[in-house]
Chain A
Amino acid sequence: MLAYALLLSAALFVIGTLGVIVRRNAIIIFLSIELQLNAVNLAFVALSRYTGIEGQLFVFFVMTVAAAEAAVGLAIIISIFRHYKTVNVDRFNLLKW
């Protein structure tokens, strides 16, 4: 059973990662990051069956951080959109030199 759960988790994580690298829309990238986080959560939950309650406990932390991150991240994206009228990350290269 564990192997399936971990395979599913890995598959979700890879999809999320590819989404972050490949997609250009900031919202989609954001969703992909959430996908990665949840893939990790899945692995935590699956493993907690064998190692103890700490894995499930940790999932709550991750969800809390993800929620906070979603709030801050969406605020930044809205702010960017107001400025550039787009959320295409190709257009943003201010993080340079």
Chain B
Amino acid sequence: MGFAASVPGPHLPVQEVAQWEPVLPGLIILLPLLGFVVNGVLALRSAARSSAALRAGTEWDPFAGPARPRTHTLPTWIGPGVMFVAFVLALWNFAGMYGAELHDPVVVRYWTWIVTGNLQIDAAIQLDQLSMIMLLVVTGVGFLIHVFSVGYMKDDTGYPRYFAYLNLFVFFMLVLVMGAGYAMMFIGWEGVGLCSYLLIGYWFTDREKSDAGKKAFIVNRIGDLGFLLAMFLLFQAFGTLDFGPIFEGAEGRLAAGGATVTAITLLLMLGAAGKSAQVPLHVWLPDAMAGPTPVSALIHAATMVTAGVYMVARSSVLYALAPTSQAVVAGVGVLTALLAATIALQQHDIKKVLAYSTVSQLGFMFLGAGVGAFTAAIFHLMTHAFFKALLFLGAGAVIHAMHHALHRADSHEDAQDMRNMGGLKDRMRITWVVMWVATLAIAGIWPLAGFFSKDEIIWYTAAWAGAPSNPFGTLYTVYWLVALVTAMLTAFYMTRLMVMTFHGESRVDRNARPHLHEAPRVMWVPLAILAVLSVFGGWVNVPEPLAESFLGLFGALPMSEWLHHWLEPVTHDAAAIQTAALGEPAYRAPLVGGGEFAWALASTLAAAVVVLAALRALGGRKYVAAARDAAVSGGLRGILANKWYFDEAFDAGIVRPVLAASRWCWKVVDTVLIDGFVNFVGNFTRLAGWTVSLFQTGQANTYAFVLTLGVLLVLGAAVFL
């Protein structure tokens, strides 16, 4: 890193404000890679021992001896350790950037990676306000989840392999958020996809789980195609893939609302939809729950799936130039939010509910990014990382307890099915409390984190709907209404999850009940920290109209609008373009009027009412344990329980036709046409050979005769022709 050189933005004058020098930014990225290498070597050694034992006809149990082997103790320190150091470094850099009041991104170039024609790609990272927020979320939440994993994966034979993958994932995620161009971002983008695949199929001996990994990978490929095409178009338009020149030159080179910028942004959105599980490419995320639960928390809730939102926010200038794409992004987002929320109403698997909830919240983020509220989208991304990681880890603690208890009781009931739970609150006090915190946060109850961030998104949808020259004003109004309804659904399905899991009578197998226990300290401490963040995380961006009212504790909440100001240098250009094109947003709800304060108050009250009503309505309900629950729901319930038949539609519309076409290619093209032609050539040659061989009589006279005839022919030709 000695040859790192920071390049200030070109148009900045030699500044009075000291340009800030990042502290070892490369090391932040390299630390998780180091962790991957060390843990990977340990994993290989453990695998070598295990396969040697298999060859010898025995089995190697790493937990059999009095002490665990070193391959299973070292990752405990290395895995979370590198994350901790990376987090501290990130904080250090954050403090530096905070003090420096940075205006332009700091780009650190390490080496030139690819030069071909006029394409040059540098291995360069970029530090600015946006990547700093992502950096803190990824390393901070990532560290907590690594710690939780120590407890959760303790008894898994693949322990070192698990941490190797997890570290590798963080490495790629950091490349994604710190890359200084679309090419670097794409490396991280593909890398996290790979790690996602590896971790979903972590228990690869289970066919269903490895299939889920494949599904995630393949669906992501479709999105990646969009990303790639967008990169080609960007290169064609700008001659570079670096962020700096693209965003500075975008206004000059691309016509606002023109075909090029619309195509670029739509293709980028296709990529984002794949990675961030937006309709119709959302189908992989619920299946991704096959992986270990901390993986679901880290990759499929807090970080990787938000990469699409990050990418849209990063490309904010391009999106601001393409109002049509913005409307599409917002539309896809709000549709996803609604569909996923409705599906979550009828799921029984605790992780499936959370998975659909994640899809739904990602939809909210896209809604925010789509209507141009990039700050609100990133804000929700951040708070969502806190409370959704908390929910998943809490669910992990529940599954962990259920699994152990059922295992002790030799019961084969499903440890993840909420119909087999109930009444866990007496056994798992801490988990119960922190899960409620997260539930209230996601439901948008004041003053928890989710209230402020979700309200921001919904409010900006309403505000931009009323912008004077917004061509999609009516559409935005619809988005706003749907978002409001979805927010209420969120409150309902989360309360349902809590009731079915923790309240009511216990439906746990009678023999297993006494074995239920609270999670060990290494697991609940991260939960507690995340719970604190879920409470206070929203206070970094209390909107101005709320800050002075009692919803902002009359100005007592610190850091009002902080995130907004912090991200200003990143979102400023996009906001200027958008305001110029659409006019000032009307800070007034469409149709009925009312300001942000009124609607925030109304929505949090409504959410609270929904939570209480759901508690009353569902609290007294008797659920039937999964094994005895034969009820097949019909009507709308059936549709929701079957996830709007997305999988079936894909199966009928794509998978089966592709299979049929493949079979046709096999049976007709290959077997009949290609094989037929090859066999024909072979048979023809054999037949011709047989025919000609008839002339070989073995009779010397005949040969002499033919020879003479030939000579005569040749001579005759020579003489007469």
Contacts and interface: CB of A to CB of B under 8 A. Distances in A.
Interface residues of A, number: 14
Interface string B406-450: 000000000000000000000000000000000000000000000
Contacts of A24: 701
Contacts of B699: 89-90, 93
Given A21-B705, A21-B708, A95 B700 contact: yes
Nearest to A89: B700
A29 B700 CA distance: 10
A97 B701 contact: no
A3 B697 CA distance: 39
Interface of B: 693, 696-701, 704-705, 708
- List 5 tightest A-B contacts by C-beta distance, closest first: A93-B698, A96-B698, A95-B698, A21-B705, A20-B704
A21 B701 CA distance: 5
Nearest to B702: A21
A94 interface: yes
A48 interface: no
B657 to A, nearest CB: 54
Nearest to B703: A95
Given A22-B701, A89-B700, A92-B698, 10 more contacts: A20-B704, A21-B704, A21-B708, A29-B700, A90-B699, A93-B699, A95-B700, A96-B696, A96-B697, A96-B698
B689 to A, nearest CB: 11
Nearest to B708: A17
A14 to B, nearest CB: 10
Nearest to A22: B701
Interface of A: 17, 20-22, 24, 29, 89-90, 92-97
A95 B693 CA distance: 12
A93 B693 CA distance: 14
Contacts of B700: 29, 89, 92, 95
A93 B705 CA distance: 16
A29 to B, nearest CB: 8
Interface residue SS majority, chain B: helix
A97 B704 contact: no
11 contacts: A21-B704, A21-B708, A22-B701, A89-B700, A92-B698, A92-B700, A93-B698, A93-B699, A95-B698, A95-B700, A97-B693
B698 A20 contact: no
Contacts of A97: 693, 696
A31 B415 CA distance: 105
Nearest to A95: B698
A73 to B, nearest CB: 12
A90 B708 CA distance: 19
A22 B699 CA distance: 12
A94 B701 contact: no
A90 B697 CA distance: 11
A5 B699 CA distance: 34
A93 B696 CA distance: 10
A89 B697 CA distance: 12
B462 to A, nearest CB: 94
Contacts of A90: 699
A94 B698 contact: yes
Contacts of B705: 21
B161 to A, nearest CB: 64
Contacts of B693: 97
A6 to B, nearest CB: 15
Contacts of B698: 92-96
A34 B696 CA distance: 26
Contacts of A29: 700-701
A9 B697 CA distance: 31
Contacts of B708: 17, 21
Nearest to A90: B699
A92 B693 CA distance: 18
Contacts of B697: 93, 96
Nearest to B700: A89
Nearest to A24: B701
A2 B399 CA distance: 117
B478 to A, nearest CB: 86
Nearest to B696: A96
Nearest to A26: B700
A94 B698 CA distance: 6
Contacts of A93: 697-699
A85 to B, nearest CB: 19
